[in-house]
């Protein structure tokens, strides 16, 4: 599927959009398309009428699927956010969003990169055995990560040191966890909490954020 925007585009279906071809009986049972009013589209070009642009997507699959981005042209200075109505995932080149089997509706939104320091959802999630933890910094900060189990025991701690302001979304920049504890042993399946500390010791300012993740073996 092709998501794009263009100053020549208009609201609703126009000459820049493309219908999705009829599925062949021999093709995969995966069904994925963009919603353009009453039409099913494989390409939906939105007008550049605002800083935020959104697309509606529908997926149906008997097997788990992964969403990835093939081109980063659309991401210059912006973030592509996928929401299923309950959780938002920020996607960039090299990142994956894993979806369970079944039918679902997604909203894909292109919006300016965050101007705040924040911790984002790990990906993939659920994961086995490795995962990446993205974050954003609106100023230079010391960064550290601590992972806990559901009873509050510390499983792993990583000190990333002083990091410059910026976005740490892709795998070569996000925090990486290989699913092992501080003794080098692989942890068991279950829910884990990860807390990231952001701070500037010279200014005496700091903040922490916590999210949960799920390992499934």
184-207 per-position pLDDT tens digit: 999 999 999 999 999 976 666 789
DSSP β-ladder status, 135-137 and 88-91: unpaired
Tokens of 31: 């069904």
Cα separation of the two ends of the chain: 31
Share of the chain above pLDDT 90, in %: 34
Span 70-109, pLDDT tens digits: 665 555 566 677 887 766 676 766 667 778 888 888 888 8
Contact 81, 91 (CB under 8 A): yes
Q: What is the pLDDT of residue 132?
A: 96
Q: Could you tell me the sign of the dihedral formed by the alpha carbons of 10, 16, 22, 28, in that order?
A: negative
Sketch the domain layout of the chain as residue ranges.
2-112, 118-215
**Who contacts 155 (Cβ-Cβ below 8 Å, separation ≥6)?**
147, 148, 149, 181, 182, 187, 192
Q: In 3-state terms, what secondary structure has residue 113?
A: coil
Separation CA 122–CA 119 (nearest Å): 9
Q: What is the pLDDT of residue 1?
A: 77
Please list, residue by residue across 118-140, b when 16 or more beta carbons sit within 10 angstroms of its beta carbon and e when fewer do. Answer: bbbebbbbbbeeebbbbbbbeee
Helices (H), the chain: none
Q: In 3-state terms, what secondary structure has residue 52?
A: coil
Please give the distance of CA 7 from its chain centroid, rounded to a whole number. 27
Mean pLDDT of the chain: 83
Domain 118-215 part of CATH 3.30.230.10: no
pLDDT at residue 123 tops 60: yes
């Amino acid at each position: 599927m092709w998501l794009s925007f263009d100053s020549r585009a208009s609201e609703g279906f126009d000459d820049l959009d493309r219908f999705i071809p009829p599925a062949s009986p021999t093709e995969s049972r995966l069904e994925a398309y963009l919603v353009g009013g009453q039409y099913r589209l494989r390409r939906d070009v939105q007008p550049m009428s605002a800083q935020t642009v959104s697309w509606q997507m529908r997926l149906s699959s008997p097997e788990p699927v992964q969403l990835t981005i093939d081109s980063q042209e659309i991401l210059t200075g912006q973030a592509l956010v996928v929401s299923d109505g309950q959780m938002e995932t920020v996607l960039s080149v090299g990142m994956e969003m894993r979806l369970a089997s079944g039918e679902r509706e997604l909203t894909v939104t292109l919006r300016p990169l965050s101007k705040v320091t924040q911790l984002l959802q790990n990906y993939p999630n659920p994961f086995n055995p490795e995962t990446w933890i993205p974050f954003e910094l609106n100023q230079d900060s010391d960064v550290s990560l601590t992972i806990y189990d559901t009873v509050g025991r510390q499983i792993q701690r990583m000190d990333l040191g002083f990091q410059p302001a910026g976005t740490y979304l892709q795998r070569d920049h996000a925090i990486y966890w290989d699913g092992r504890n501080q003794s080098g042993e692989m942890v068991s399946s279950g829910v884990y909490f990860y807390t990231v500390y952001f701070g500037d010791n010279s200014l005496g300012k700091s903040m922490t954020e916590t999210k949960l993740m799920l390992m499934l073996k």
